[in-house]
């Protein structure tokens, strides 16, 4: 009797990506660099206070409107600097900022945990858009390593896993799903880079084309990427989501810092209304959504990029991996140059696990690029 392999029976295999910090390595610090990079951002804000015109790359952009911060703004920014230094120290003494966040969660210290999330969100905003170098990666041959605003590997990758309609509107292919442990918005920025559209000024504009906000009515629209630990860039006030700064995709550091302060006046903090930075929501603070569980249970190929399966995420990772394995996937592809493969292999516990140490580009399965017609297997 003729038999067909699972691969041969399905032309459009469901491919799930699981992204870790290493996927954003060329743009965003990894966990061991969190403290150093937070201090770097604190210094950048301090320099902006002392010399506002230093935040501009050219003299042309300067005007009398951009010449100083007032006393209230300076007081606000100095508090932000103190918070960056405080949580940098906590990241050092606790191993990672996630580790300290977990401690705060266990101790039910909600106010400080929200303060941590605010600091983390602002730090990532500034890091992604207004920092040019990664001094903590300096070597003798490269004393001032530059960073990419968008890790170009995301751009190359999205070119391979998206499609466009007759009007040139780009969308993620229906068989592709993305799960990310990262707070950063590298995938979102890479997606919108395809448009080169001057009308796209803020994260809300991105979300209309590449959906990543969790508060969508999921009965109407699917999300394009699921951030398992939440993401930066938003706070909630009176049950509505707001970006940390207006139009900061097209602004400069000076106007971004001004916008941060303006939030204090625009969104009054009272006993029952405060700036809730719950867009960053650690895995231990919430149940894994049915959407993510469904994605995992339908996965035919799992591609894991730049992820080492840290202990704090293991409960969620175990659920995801077990649901994937229950679907008898073709294979699991693990792309990471630094991890302990024996430990990762033992955790995943799947015979058909392929390992790739390359870092030049994200892996895209050949089964997706060159799907074949069904063949009889004897």
Q: Where are the domains of the chain?
A: 3-23+150-231+284-377, 28-147+234-278
Q: How far apart are CA 108 and CA 104, in angstroms?
A: 6
Domain 3-23+150-231+284-377 matching CATH 3.40.50.1220: the answer reads yes
Which DSSP string do the residues of 337-357 spell out, in sequence order? SSS-HHHHHHHH--SSEEEE-
* pTM recorded for the entire structure: 0.91
Q: How far apart are CA 327 and CA 324, in angstroms?
A: 5
In 3D space, the residue among 375, 373, 307, 366 whose CA is nearest the CA of residue 15 turns out to be 366
Tell me whether strands 301-305 and 3-4 are parallel, antiparallel or unpaired. unpaired
Q: Report the first-to-last Cα separation within the chain, whole angstroms.
A: 8
Per-residue pLDDT of 27-78, as tens digits, reads 999 989 999 999 999 999 999 998 877 666 554 444 455 668 899 999 999 9
Residue 300 pLDDT > 80, yes or no? yes
% helix, strand, coil for the chain, step of 5 = 45, 15, 40
| 121 and 279 Cβ atoms separated by less than 8 Å | yes
Per-residue pLDDT of 72-107, as tens digits, reads 999 999 999 999 999 999 999 999 999 999 999 999
pLDDT at position 2: 39
């Amino acid at each position: 009797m003729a038999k067909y392999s699972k691969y041969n029976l399905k032309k459009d295999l469901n491919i799930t990506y699981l992204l870790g910090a290493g996927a954003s390595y060329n743009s965003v610090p990894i966990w061991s660099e969190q403290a150093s990079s937070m201090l770097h951002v604190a210094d950048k804000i301090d320099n902006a206070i002392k010399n506002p015109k230093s935040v501009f790359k050219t003299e042309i952009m300067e005007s009398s409107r951009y010449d100083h911060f007032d006393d209230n703004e300076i007081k606000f920014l100095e508090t932000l600097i103190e918070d960056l230094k405080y949580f940098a120290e906590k990241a050092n003494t606790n191993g990672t900022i996630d580790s300290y966040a977990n401690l705060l969660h266990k101790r039910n210290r909600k106010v400080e945990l929200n303060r941590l999330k605010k600091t983390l969100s602002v730090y990532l905003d500034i890091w992604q858009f207004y920092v040019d170098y990664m001094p903590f990666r300096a070597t003798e041959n490269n004393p001032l390593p530059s960073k990419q605003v968008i890790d170009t590997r995301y751009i190359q990758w999205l070119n391979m896993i998206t499609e466009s309609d007759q009007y040139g509107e780009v969308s993620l292919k229906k068989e592709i799903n993305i799960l990310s442990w990262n707070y950063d918005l590298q995938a979102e920025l890479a997606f919108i880079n395809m448009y080169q559209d001057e009308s796209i000024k803020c994260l809300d504009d991105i979300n209309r084309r590449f959906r990543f906000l969790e508060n969508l009515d999921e009965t109407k629209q699917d999300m394009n990427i699921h951030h398992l630990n939440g993401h930066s860039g938003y706070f909630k006030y009176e049950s509505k989501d707001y970006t940390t700064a207006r139009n900061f995709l097209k602004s400069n550091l000076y106007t971004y810092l001004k916008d941060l302060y303006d939030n204090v006046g625009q969104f009054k903090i009272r006993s029952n209304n405060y700036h809730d930075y719950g867009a960053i929501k650690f895995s231990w603070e919430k149940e894994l959504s049915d959407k993510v569980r469904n994605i995992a249970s339908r996965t035919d190929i799992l591609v894991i990029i730049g992820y080492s399966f840290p202990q704090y995420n293991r409960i969620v990772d175990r659920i995801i991996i077990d649901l994937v394995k229950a679907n008898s996937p073709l294979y699991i592809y693990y792309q990471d140059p630094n991890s302990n493969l024996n430990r990762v292999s033992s955790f995943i516990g799947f015979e058909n696990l392929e390992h790739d140490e390359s870092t030049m580009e994200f892996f895209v399965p050949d089964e997706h690029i060159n799907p074949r017609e069904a063949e009889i297997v004897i």
